[in-house]
Amino acid sequence: MSGPPRLSALPGTMRVAHLLAARAFIVAALLLLGACAGYSGSNLRPGISTLPEVVAVMGEPAFRWPSPGGGEQLAYPRGPAGTQTFMVFVGADGRLLRIEGVLDMAHFARIEPGKSDKAAVLRLLGPPQPEWAAYFKARDELVWEWRFCDSWNQVARFDVLFDATTGIVRTSYQRPEYNGWKNDTLSCAH
């Protein structure tokens, strides 16, 4: 029973090509790991990292808002396939204060039907998935939707329904995301 040839048994040019391919794979894997570290900003340090460092690691934010007393809030949605949005808070001195993952039950609970408006929801959760936003003319209702990991580690959808005339939240709810013809729920890979 013979297996694949050993590297030393390959002709010289094939051996070089094999080694180059292996090195290219290793470099690609390291770059991918580096990109994952920047995805959430986990390698940034509060009180030490600066706004330019945040942008260099996490990229340009989808939104920026001025914070009271100076500083900024930056939104980093990681969809549509992702299940997280990160809010980055930078102080008036330009240094990182904190990074929050905002697509969770604690943040959803801060949305108040009859009180919260589109601007408040946008600043709390970041932008919804544009392709999932829908307007229902018969109800004069605008729906925004986010994908997230629920408390049971399942992929779910969170919807906020606005009165389209006033822009005030009517209600919000979550539901599981189903996949395939069997309607299986998807598990989050944490």
Q: What's the pLDDT at 132? A: 87
**pLDDT digits (tens), the chain, 190 positions:** 555 556 566 566 655 555 555 565 454 443 444 444 457 888 999 999 999 999 999 999 999 999 998 999 999 999 777 899 999 999 999 999 999 999 999 999 999 999 999 999 999 999 998 888 999 999 999 999 999 998 888 889 999 999 989 999 998 888 877 776 666 777 786 4
Residues 119 and 147 in one domain: yes
The answer to whether 144 touches 128, Cβ cutoff 8 Å, is yes
For residue 97, the domain's CATH number is: 3.30.1450
Q: What's the pLDDT at 36? A: 42
Report which secondary-structure segment, H or E, holds 118.
helix 118-125
Q: Is the torsion defined by CA of 46, 48, 54, 56 positive or negative? A: negative
Residues 96 and 115 in one domain: no
Residues 118 and 160 in one domain: yes
Concatenating the DSSP letter of every residue in 135-154 gives: EEGGGTEEEEEEEEE-TTSB
Q: What's the pLDDT at 108? A: 95
Residue 86 domain flag: yes
Concatenating the DSSP letter of every residue in 36-81 gives: HHHHHTTT--TTT-BHHHHHHHH-S-SEEEEPTTS-EEEEEE-TTT
Residue 152 domain flag: yes
Residue 7 domain flag: no
Rg, the chain, Cα only: 23
Q: How many domains does the chain have?
A: 2
